Amino acid sequence: MRFAEALRRPGLAAIAEIKRRSPSAGDLRPDADPAELAPAFERAGAAAVSVLVEERFGGTVDDLRAARAAADLPLLAKGFFSTPEQLRELREAGADAVLLLLRDLDDPTTLSIMQTAQELGMDALVEAHDDAELRRAVELDAEVIGVNARDLSTFHIDRRAQLELVSQAPVDRVVVAESAIASRAQGAEAELAGAQAILVGSTLMRASDPAAKLAELISRPLVKVCGLTREEDVAVAADAGADMAGFIQVDSSPRKADGVLPVPETMLSVSVHVGEAANDGADLVQVYERDPRKLRGRDAVLMREGRPVAWVLDLPWEEDDPEHLQRAARTNGRVMLAGRLGPDNVADAIAKVRPWAVDAASRLEAAPGIKDPNKVRAYVEAARC
């Protein structure tokens, strides 16, 4: 179907949600106009648009019709649906997919609605928020499974539990991480856990420019500042807009950090090791090959909970390679590009490689292990251009 196919495209897909209010947060954007927002989200790179059609969210089916008339991308009708008859109205209004909440539906009802959706040429986003509901979604053979970080009964948000459920979902399903995503790092964390897509609503509705905020959330490459040893340098990197903070845990390195320092929610922490990883509390672990003749080998693997999630393509230690960028550009999968990157060359490297992330350390320093704030800001700004 159109909706599922859009979410299966390479990279992290985004479902941008239009909602005027939230039961937990109150008014978000009372004057939200689906006829304006849907095409703006389409231009900003959304894979699909979710439209709230429930009165308690300030929406109606007419909002779905307005979005359909203004945009071509797949539309998800979001509400509390329990009968096949509701789907027919939604399909006539332009919906390509419908949300089904396992919290509110038993298995026979869910299966009946899924079958009706298929007959109408619609997909179903089957939403789970705990282990039992995830198992039900899998057993019902749902192709698209949403994992909500928010408990709809208590409105409590638990991103750790969400990411754990995302990582448990079968790899042949389309997994959507829903709620509580407000930064590139949080979206990337869901991606690395196994989500093919994120659904973002409140963050966009609160933004002064919702489409620009969406483009920011899904923009790549991610930007990593490595070799951090001081909390004040972490703060500078975060303020500059970096997505990852790297802490080297190698005794012989001049940039060895005293453990993994705290990072804000807008960043992911990365501990860097040579030879083997250690469980030191970082969000991600970067492990370089061991080379007895040098501080480290050339390349590294980025890991999440022991599972490889990206490849770090670096220069040989204290050596150069004129084919470095071409080699990185030929590498399949998520590539984090490293190797003496700085404010003056990172934009050119990105243009040639199109990496998933970039990583810089030594060329952002005033002294080994001490960052130069101006260089950090210039590097992040250049990487974003």
332 is catalytic: no
Q: Which tens digits make up the pLDDT trace of 118-152?
A: 999 999 999 998 999 999 999 999 999 999 987 76
218, 247, 272: which is the final residue of a domain?
218
Q: Beta strand pairing status for 300-304 and 307-313?
A: antiparallel
Q: Beta strand pairing status for 174-178 and 144-148?
A: parallel
3-state secondary structure 89-128: HHHHCCCCEEEEECCCCCHHHHHHHHHHHHHCCCEEEEEE
Distance from C-alpha of 3 to C-alpha of 29, rounded to nearest angstrom:
25
Query: In terms of Cα–Cα distance, which of 90, 67, 69 is closest to 78?
Result: 90
Q: Are residues 210 and 252 in the same domain?
A: no
Under 8 Å between Cβ of 76 and 98:
yes
78 is catalytic: yes
Q: Which tens digits make up the pLDDT trace of 209-252?
A: 999 999 999 999 999 999 999 999 999 999 999 999 999 999 98
Distances from the Cα of 179 to the Cα of 238, 331, 366, angstroms: 22, 33, 40
Q: Are residues 314 and 192 in the same domain?
A: no
Q: Are residues 176 and 305 in the same domain?
A: no
256 is catalytic: no
Q: Are residues 344 and 243 in the same domain?
A: yes
Q: Are residues 349 and 315 in the same domain?
A: yes
375 is catalytic: no
Q: Is 4 in a helix, a strand, or coil?
A: helix
Q: Which of 50, 148, 183, 271 is catalytic?
A: 148
Q: Are residues 275 and 173 in the same domain?
A: no
Q: Is residue 1's pLDDT more than 60?
A: no
pTM attached to this predicted model: 0.94
178 is catalytic: yes
Contacts of 74 (CB under 8 A, 6+ apart): 2, 3, 6, 47, 48, 49, 96, 97
Residue 224 pairs in a beta bridge with 244, 359
Q: Are residues 262 and 135 in the same domain?
A: no
Q: What is the pLDDT of residue 167?
A: 95
Q: Are residues 253 and 193 in the same domain?
A: no
Q: What is the pLDDT of residue 107?
A: 96
What is the domain count for the chain?
2
Residue 176 pairs in a beta bridge with 146, 197
Instruction: Say which CATH number the domain at 305 has.
Output: 3.20.20.70
Query: In terms of Cα–Cα distance, which of 39, 18, 38, 40 is closest to 29?
Result: 18
Residue 80: both structure tokens together:
């509390």
202, 218, 234: which is the final residue of a domain?
218
Tell me the Cα Rg of the chain. 22
Query: In terms of Cα–Cα distance, which of 220, 253, 177, 265 is closest to 356?
Result: 220
Q: What is the pLDDT of residue 326?
A: 97
Q: Which of 42, 127, 143, 191 is catalytic?
A: 127
Q: Are residues 90 and 213 in the same domain?
A: yes
Q: Are residues 26 and 85 in the same domain?
A: yes
Q: Which of 133, 143, 178, 365 is catalytic?
A: 178
For residue 157, the enclosing domain spans: 2-218
Q: Which of 42, 50, 143, 179 is catalytic?
A: 179
218, 241, 258: which is the final residue of a domain?
218
Q: Are residues 211 and 274 in the same domain?
A: no
Q: Which tens digits make up the pLDDT trace of 158-169?
A: 889 899 999 999
Q: Are residues 251 and 198 in the same domain?
A: no
Percent of the chain with pLDDT over 70: 99
54 is catalytic: no
Distance from C-alpha of 69 to C-alpha of 64, rounded to nearest angstrom:
9
191 is catalytic: no
Q: Beta strand pairing status for 365-367 and 370-371?
A: antiparallel
Confidence of residue 42 (pLDDT cuts 50, 70, 90): very high
DSSP state of 150: B
Torsional sign, CA 169, 174, 179, 184: positive
Q: What is the pLDDT of residue 279?
A: 81
Q: Which of 19, 213, 371, 375 is catalytic?
A: 19
